[in-house]
Amino acid sequence: MFKFLKYKSDDTWVDTAIITAIRFMIAGFTMVSGYLLAFAATMGPPIAPHIWNGGLDKTIRISTIVIGFGSCTAVLIWFFWPLCRYVYRLIVRTK
């Protein structure tokens, strides 16, 4: 789906800058969304306190926090790992 966001060996510095900027915007949007999802899990009254004496509430909140911070971690890996590989290839190629 996002094949145009892959770094290629024949890219110019303009192509690389555009790809990095697009990846940065996608990563930023996903990081903000994940943080807001995790933050929203801590707000408000208990969810359905009459079911399982609040046990369902704890499960929903913790899973929402894990999903929020998990998406933040995944997008950081998605952003930095290809960037580090590209920089490494650039350094090795210029020797």
State pLDDT tens for residues 8-32.
767 788 887 888 898 899 999 999 9
pLDDT per position as a tens digit, 67-89? 999 999 999 998 899 888 888 88
Matching residue, tokens 């999802």: 37
CA 32 – CA 24 distance, rounded (Å): 12
Q: How far is CA 34 from CA 11, 28, 52, 62, 67, in A?
A: 31, 10, 28, 13, 7
- Taking residues 42-52, report their average pLDDT: 75
Q: What is the pTM of this model?
A: 0.72
